[in-house]
Every structure is written in structure tokens, then in C-alpha cells.
Structure 1
Amino acid sequence: MGKDELKKNLGLVPALALVIGIVIGAGVFFKPTAVFTATGAPGLGLIAWILGGVITIAGGLTAAEVSAAIPKTGGMIAYLEETYGDMWSFLLGWAQTIIYFPANVAALAIIFGTQAASLLGMSDSAIVPIAIIVSVFLIIMNLFGSKTGGVIQTVSTICKLIPLIAIIIIGLINGNGGTVRLLPMVAQNHPIATSLGSALVATMFAYDGWINVGAIAGEMKNPKRDLPIAIVGGLSLVMAVYLLINVAYLFVLPASALAATKTPAAAVANVIFGQAGGKIITIGILISVFGTINGYVLTGMRVPYAMAVENKLPGSKWLAKLTPNSKVPVNSGILLGIISIILIFSGKFDQLTDLLIFVIWIFYVMTFFAVFVLRKKRPDMERPYKVPGYPIVPIIAILGGLYIIFNTLFTQPLNAGLGLGVTLIGLPVYMARKNKFTRNNED
């Protein structure tokens, strides 16, 4: 069977590294702008980072039960298909193909262009061209094979740790803000509920990506034991790093200054390291963002390919085409590139990230709720791992997700409507093609 052909050679350490590597990307360096703009005060901003971590860990603990019980390659798509049926797994795959992965690539490419233009002293008009060049370059590089993409990922993961560690250590030691910079808790004219909600959406982009580790369950030596540990352990470490670096930011610059700059990490680096040292840190940040884009390109081009192999998408024969030598889904990569470039022209990093977070969290909540559904529908299902604190922990994850979704609906109705509209376009596509689906027999 297809699943048995996968080499089960991944242990706990690579899975743990993958969670940390996927999650720590551009958000930690650039989302403080959106967080402290939304809250207007450092205290509420830090609460948003903490709350985002708590919701994500609760989600990780909850989703881990589903991923351990359904250790199939495909991750969340497999979970939704097993729990709710073909239609919901199709809509997730559709949303990932049309919104989630292209918007991630576009948003990260925009922030790469913003950082590069700032470093080189170029005007804002250079941001979009740089963003398009870097995204096209990485798609081309990934067409040479997954090994090439893997090398880029490894180098960038190492490089991303350098600016993180440097800013945390030097910022905390030499920063002169102290506790004064951590106050006040709430700013005037910033309603707590909506301000915290908007900041939370921003932090969730920085925490996003953790669930994608479930996609490699079929290649893990012991996914039922190691996958939950990797998700929870990795997210706990990420949360600690995010809190430390945001406190370091606030020790160096006030929340108002962080909200006023498009490149908060670089601004902090310039203060504590000087202009020359700040540029070196900025280069490290650029490499980190470069690697994060690469990660989304590498995984993103495989989603439409996997759907096309089962004849689920219009033009499936074209999308399922592989390169002759490297066996990479070339046309699925081209599709990802085209949609990403269209989104890049918006030039709006925060709008794109809020859009993709809104859409993907609808499916995250469904994954969390799947714990309740499967326990009722399939009580005899083998569950080597069960979420601790059931049902409280899953309820925390679900309520947190619903808060993110409804806050976006109320505070950004056009953005939410666009996300829902594009996702729901998948319904008529599903209805038109459901009788043409073929099965990979990967169970």
C-alpha cells in the first residue's frame, strides 16, 4: 500500500526541530508592529503573546490526539476526511491551495522586500519587485528537487537563531527601558476586547505552522508517541522565546516606537548593536524570512499536487505533472507562484496574514472539535495518546479559535468576507468533481 512505501525514518528530535523550524519565522521579527499598534500599550501586547501561546499549546495538545489516532501522511486533510467526510477535507485542500500557502508566500515575500529595501536604502517602490523576485527564485530552486529545498531550509534555520539569541541576550542586559517599558497595561481609546483580539490574530501568525508537522506522520518511526511530544514540547519552547524577545524589544524601545516601524527587530538591533551591527542582524533576519518562504513553497506546491493525483481539481492532469528527473510537482509550483504574485501586488503584509489566519483557524477549530466527534462516533478507536485535561483543554482551544474567528468577522468584515468567499467557491468545484475523484489507497 502507498503508506507502507514511505520510509519511516524520522524520530522525535527531527519532528521537534521541524515544529520549532516551521513556527519561528518572520512573525517574531515583524508582528510586534501589529501587536503594539492594536493594543497601544506594552502590557496588553505581552498578554496577547502569552494568550496566543496558551491557545496554541491547548490546540497542540488537542490536535495531537487526532494526529496520533490518525497517523496518515496529509495531516489535517486526513483528519477532516476521517472525521467529517470528503467535502470538508476538499474545502481545506482548496483553501490551502488558493489562500493559505499563496498568502503565506506573498506576505513573507513582502516583508522580505520591506526589510531588504530598508537595508539597502531603497524606496518603498522596490518592495514589490524584490518580493516577486525572491518568491519566483525560491519556486525555481524547489523545482530542482526536495533535497535542494531541504538544504536551504537547514541553513536558514541555523541563521534564524543567531539574531534571536543576540537580540534577547543583549537587549535584556543592555536595554535601559526596564519595567517602565512594560507598562501601562491598557492604552486609552483602545477597547480591551477588540484590541486584544486584533493583537491575538497578529500573534497567531507568528505561532502558525505547528500543525503541518502532522503531514509527516506517515514517515515517523513512532508517530503515536513522538508526534504529541514534538508538538507540545516545540510550542512550549517557541512561546518562551517569543516572550523573551518581546520583553527584550520593550527594554530597548517603547511600544509606540515598535508600533511606528515596519521593521521592529531591525530597529532594536540598530539601537543595541549600532548601525553596522544592526545591519548584520538584519541580514540574519532576511535569511530567516528567506528560509520561511522556502518552507511554505516546499510544502505548498505539494497540496494541489496531492489533490490533483486524486483528480479533485480542475486541470488535475496538468497539476499532477512531475519534473522528469527530480520528480517535483512543477505545475503545482507554477500555480502557487501565480497566485502568490497576484497577492504580492496588494503590498499588505498584515492584511494577508490576517486573511490566512482567519481562514485556517476555521479548519483548526474543526480539528479540535474532531476529538469530541471521534470519541463519540468511534469510542473503540485506538488512542495511544489522549489530550490531558479533557474536556477542558479542547474547549480552551475551541473557544480561543472562535474568538479569533469572530473578532476578525467584526473588526475586519471585508477581509473575513473575502476569505470566506474564496473558500466557499470550493463548494461548487467539489460538487462538480466529486464523482470524478480517484483514490490513492493510502490507508
Structure 2
Amino acid sequence: MAISKNISPTAPEILEPQVDISDSELLTDSVESSEENFKLKKELGLRDGVGIIVGIIIGSGIFVSPKGVIQFTGSVGMSLVVWAVCGLLSMVGALCYAELGTMIPRSGGDYAYIFEAFGPLPAFLFIWVSLVIIMPTSNAVMALTFANYIIKPIFEYCDALPEVPVRLIAAVVVCLLTWVNCTNVKWATCVQAVSTGAKILALSIIIAAGASHLAYGNTQNYEAPFRNTHTSITSISTAFYQGLFSFAGWNCLNFVVEELKDPFKNLPRAILISMPIITIIYVLTNMAYFAVLEPDEVLASNAVAMSLAERGPTIALYLMPTFVALSTLGSLNGCIFACSRLFFVGAREGHLPQALALISIKTFTPVPALIFLGFMTLCMLTTSDTLVLINYISFSESLFVLLSILALLWLRYKEPERKRPIKVWLWVIILFFLVCVFLVVFPFFERPVELSVAIGICLAGIPVYLVCVRQANKSKKFNALMCNVTSVCQLLCYGLPEEKED
């Protein structure tokens, strides 16, 4: 999993380029990099940061299956309350991460914060679970969702879409987006901007349709909005769990802090701009759904946006799948961009093979980390059990968010005088910490077997860490092998490791 300490980024074998860079363009790049430390460029501005957050959070969920919240609340009014409160809680969590991101301005998100507060083993467990479950599975599910909706109009009269074309299209889009992210950061942010615009346009159309329906006096679903509300703690808490899952991705910008221009200003600004926008869009979209559809119709539908489109003109039935596909494409692109930086940082710290810490001297992108993430995602596309792992994803993410917030509290206690450009009120951090505890503990009562398996996968990372990280430097053959792998990757991607600042 990692190379030994004596094969570090400063070793001569790695620092010396193993490629012929006589080409003028590459030579110019290498000369420019020698004038300042060679590292990933700060190319992301405030607009890019907002686009990444909005683009990742607003995926297929708001179009496909918002019925989870009303299923457990029982009423339209309580559903809207849950959506609004979930948005507020997500903003609180994002602000906590803004303090972490400006106090520890390193890419990697949770990995960097857990490493700083609790040391290498807990940080490795995060990257282990991300490698085995969270990142490739999330990307595979999004790719499959894109494929399903992009070909839905072609197989309009089929009860079930053919599996092979769906998986092939998913594999193609994963490879395409991986190539875009390898080639140019600006291209990746352009894809993100276009897809974000498309999804906001689609949601604006849905909101406008709902407002038009209400304007004609169709207000029956709002005449008694809290009728049939479920009052049990179990039901309401599960509804919140469903809603918060739809806001997943609010911490994604923290994974690329080192590429953000003026992160001390742009990180909190991007959060304060994007989170209210997303919350308002989610609430208004659900209001539109309930303006046109009865609550029972929402519960019976696995694709609420498609059910709403059936009430409109025929062209809406063809446009809506396209909008859903573009929405999912943007989320997938954003996740590929952000998640690859986690593997890059993990390799830089010696927790993954050093080859993943290489940066292309031609494109200034972490090409090996991007290709590795793409390969892992393609592996997930080969199994039919991918969707079963979604429950593991939500629990694992909640567990490590809890650990990151605990790291924030611990650093507040351990290093009270540390410079904090952004400082969140302590009671706000404690409130969100309690929410995270709830999200980790409560699901055990609902899915004890699945979550026990998730914990087992997490703990399986301990022996992997002991063998592949702690003991790796004792094996000369292993070190030589990893050094050869790194050299080959240098040749293939014109890569060099990041230079440390003086």
C-alpha cells in the first residue's frame, strides 16, 4: 500500500526526472516549476468553489427519490420542515469544516484533520475505507445513474433497461471524465459549471411548474400541511437521516484546499454562498412536487421528477432524463476531481504507494491518483452488488465526519492559541457533534448487520496498516518493487513528486 520511509519524495531516484524533456513545452514547464516549489497550481477561484459544492451536492437524488423524507414524516408540512432543518445543519457542519480547512490548509479533507489531531493510524483507516468503499462505490453508483437516465428515452417501452449497455456507458463516462481531469483543471471546472447550470435550470423549471400549479388554485395539498404527521422519535429521526444524506458533499471543497486561491477567504465564502442556495432550491423543489403530486403519488414513485414530467407536455418526458443525467454527470465529475486529491495526499504522507503522489509536469494534475480512482470505480462497475454498499457509504461517512468534528474540539482544547482565521462558536460545534453522534449510533437500531459489516471493513484496515505501512521499510524487495513502480509511472505520466516548501 505504501513505500517505505527510505524511499521518500526527496530520494534522488524519484526527484530526478526519468523522462526525456527535450520537448520545448515540457522544458518550459520544468523551468517554470524550478522558479518556485513544484506543486499543484492554485487555479480554483470563488466561482469554481461554489460550483464544486453545488455541483456535487445536487445530484440525482432530488430528481429521483425525495420520497424518503415524507415516508417517515407522514405529512407535507413536516417534510418541508425536515428539508429546511437539514440544510441548516449541513451549513453548520460546513462552517465547522471551514474552521478546520483554514486552520489546517492542506488538501485531503477529513484525512488531514484526523491525521493532525489523532495521528497516522486513524487517518489511514479513513483513507482505507475511502479506498475500499466510499469513493469508488459512490462514483460507480453515479455513473450507473447517469447511464440509466441517458438511455431511458431509447428504451421508453421496456420494463427494465438492458444491463450491459448501461454498464458500458457508465464505464465510458468514468473514463472520459478521468481523462478530462487528467488533462486540464480548467476543463474539469468548465464541465462542472455547465452541468451545475443545467441542473439549476432543470430545478428552476420544476419550481416554476409547481408555482404555476399553485397560482391556478390547486392548493389542496397545503390546506392541512401537518395532517398525518408521524410523531414517533424513530420516524422523525429516520426522516432527518434521509434528508441529511441528500446534502452529502458539503465538505468536498476541503479536499482541494491547496488548489483554492486565497483559501482563508474563498473557502468560507463558497460555503456561505452555496449552502443557502442549495437549501432554498431543495425546499422549493419539494414544494413544487407536492403542489402537483399527491403525497401518495410521491410515495409510490421511484423517480418523482419523472412523475411530475408526465403531467406536463410530452417533450418534458424526454428532457427530464437528460437533465437528471447532466446533474449526475456534474456530481461524478466533482467527486473525481476532489476524491483523487485524497489519494494524492495519502500517498504524499506515505499511506499509499508513492507513485500516486506524482504530479504531471505537463498538466500539473495528479494523473496517477486520478487513473487509480478511475480504475477502482471501473472495478465496482463489474459487480451487481454495488447498490448494496450504499448503506455502508452513508454510515462510514458519518463516522469519519464525527471523528473530524471531534478533532476540531480536541484541537480547540489542546492548542487554544493556534491561529484560526475562521472561528465558529463553540456551542455550534458541540451541537453538530451531537448530531453526528446521533447519525452514527441511531442506524444500528435499524440496520445492525449491515453496519457491523461496515465496522468490520474499517477495522480490517488495522492489519493492512501494520503490514503495508509500518513494516514496509523492513523489506528491501518490497521497497525496490515500489521504487520501480514509481519510476514506471514517472515515465508514463511525465510525473514528479511535489516539492516541499522551505
Asked whether the two chains share a fold, i.e. TM above 0.5, the reply is: yes
SS in 1 for 2:313: helix
Verify the 8 A CA contact 2:144 2:170 in the aligned structure 1.
no
Candidates 358, 372, 382, aligned match of 2:409: 372
TM-score normalised per structure 2: 0.78
Identity %: 25
Verify the 8 A CA contact 2:38 2:499 in the aligned structure 1.
no
Shift, 1:96, TM fit: 1.4
Question: Structure 1 residues 366, 232: closer, same or farther in 2, change over 3 A?
Answer: farther
Verify the 8 A CA contact 2:195 2:326 in the aligned structure 1.
yes
SS in 2 for 1:5: coil
SS in 2 for 1:218: helix
Candidates 173, 178, 188, aligned match of 2:219: 178
For 1:293, the aligned partner's letter is L
Larger radius of gyration: 2
1:165 paired residue number: 204
Candidates 258, 275, 288, aligned match of 1:218: 258
Task: Report whether the alignment pairs 1:108 with 2:142.
Answer: yes
Question: Structure 1 residues 61, 342: closer, same or farther in 2, change over 3 A?
Answer: same
Between 240-249 and 214-223, report the one with greater CA deviation.
Answer: 214-223
Task: Report whether the alignment pairs 1:383 with 2:420.
Answer: yes
Question: Structure 1 residues 342, 324: closer, same or farther in 2, change over 3 A?
Answer: farther
Candidates 24, 28, 34, aligned match of 2:68: 34
Verify the 8 A CA contact 1:358 1:416 in the aligned structure 2.
yes
- What do you get for the CA RMSD once the two structures are aligned? 3.0
Task: Report whether the alignment pairs 1:194 with 2:229.
Answer: no
Question: Structure 1 residues 295, 9: closer, same or farther in 2, change over 3 A?
Answer: closer
Question: Structure 1 residues 244, 385: closer, same or farther in 2, change over 3 A?
Answer: same
Candidates 193, 199, 207, aligned match of 2:247: 207
Distance in 2 separating the partners of 1:25 and 1:408: 23
1:406 paired residue number: 441
1:267 paired residue number: 307
Shift, 1:210, TM fit: 1.6
Q: How does 1:86-125 map to 2 (within 5 A)?
A: 86-116=120-150, 118-120=152-154, 121=156, 123=158, 125=160
Verify the 8 A CA contact 1:318 1:331 in the aligned structure 2.
no
Listed one character per residue, the Cα deviations across residues 359-412 of structure 1 (whole Å, up to 9, x for unaligned) are 11111112222222111111221111100xx22211221121222222211112
Q: How does 1:109-148 map to 2 (within 5 A)?
A: 109-116=143-150, 118-120=152-154, 121=156, 123=158, 125-126=160-161, 128-141=163-176, 142-143=178-179, 145-147=182-184
Verify the 8 A CA contact 1:73 1:218 in the aligned structure 2.
yes
Aligned residues: 434
2:106 paired residue number: 72
SS in 2 for 1:380: coil
Larger helix share, 1 or 2: 1
Candidates 331, 354, 377, aligned match of 1:292: 331
Verify the 8 A CA contact 2:107 2:341 in the aligned structure 1.
no
1:392 paired residue number: 427
Distance in 1 separating the partners of 2:402 and 2:245: 16
Question: Structure 1 residues 127, 300: closer, same or farther in 2, change over 3 A?
Answer: farther
Distance in 2 separating the partners of 1:83 and 1:297: 27
Gaps of 5+ in 2: 1-9, 11-35, 474-478, 480-496
Distance in 2 separating the partners of 1:306 and 1:294: 19
Verify the 8 A CA contact 2:347 2:357 in the aligned structure 1.
yes
For 1:287, the aligned partner's letter is L
For 2:410, the aligned partner's letter is V
Distance in 1 separating the partners of 2:435 and 2:227: 21
Between 303-312 and 81-90, report the one with greater CA deviation.
Answer: 303-312
Verify the 8 A CA contact 1:194 1:411 in the aligned structure 2.
no
SS in 2 for 1:119: coil
Distance in 2 separating the partners of 1:216 and 1:99: 20
Distance in 2 separating the partners of 1:217 and 1:375: 21
Between 295-304 and 235-244, report the one with greater CA deviation.
Answer: 295-304
Listed one character per residue, the Cα deviations across residues 207-258 of structure 1 (whole Å, up to 9, x for unaligned) are 1112110122212232122212212331111111110101111101122211
For 2:194, the aligned partner's letter is V
Distance in 1 separating the partners of 2:250 and 2:66: 20
Verify the 8 A CA contact 2:206 2:288 in the aligned structure 1.
yes
Verify the 8 A CA contact 1:321 1:331 in the aligned structure 2.
no
Between 178-187 and 403-412, report the one with greater CA deviation.
Answer: 178-187
Distance in 1 separating the partners of 2:335 and 2:354: 23
Question: Structure 1 residues 259, 337: closer, same or farther in 2, change over 3 A?
Answer: same
Shift, 1:84, TM fit: 1.2
Gaps of 5+ in 1: none
Question: Structure 1 residues 423, 80: closer, same or farther in 2, change over 3 A?
Answer: same
Between 29-38 and 82-91, report the one with greater CA deviation.
Answer: 29-38
Distance in 2 separating the partners of 1:96 and 1:209: 14
Q: How does 1:322-341 map to 2 (within 5 A)?
A: 328-329=367-368, 331-341=371-381
Candidates 267, 281, 290, aligned match of 2:320: 281
Shift, 1:92, TM fit: 1.2
Listed one character per residue, the Cα deviations across residues 6-42 of structure 1 (whole Å, up to 9, x for unaligned) are 3334333322232222211222212313223333432
Question: Structure 1 residues 130, 194: closer, same or farther in 2, change over 3 A?
Answer: farther
Verify the 8 A CA contact 2:110 2:404 in the aligned structure 1.
yes
Listed one character per residue, the Cα deviations across residues 241-291 of structure 1 (whole Å, up to 9, x for unaligned) are 1101011111011222112111111211221x2222232133112211122
Between 295-304 and 132-141, report the one with greater CA deviation.
Answer: 295-304
TM-score normalised per structure 1: 0.87
Verify the 8 A CA contact 1:42 1:185 in the aligned structure 2.
yes
Shift, 1:51, TM fit: 2.5
2:281 paired residue number: 241
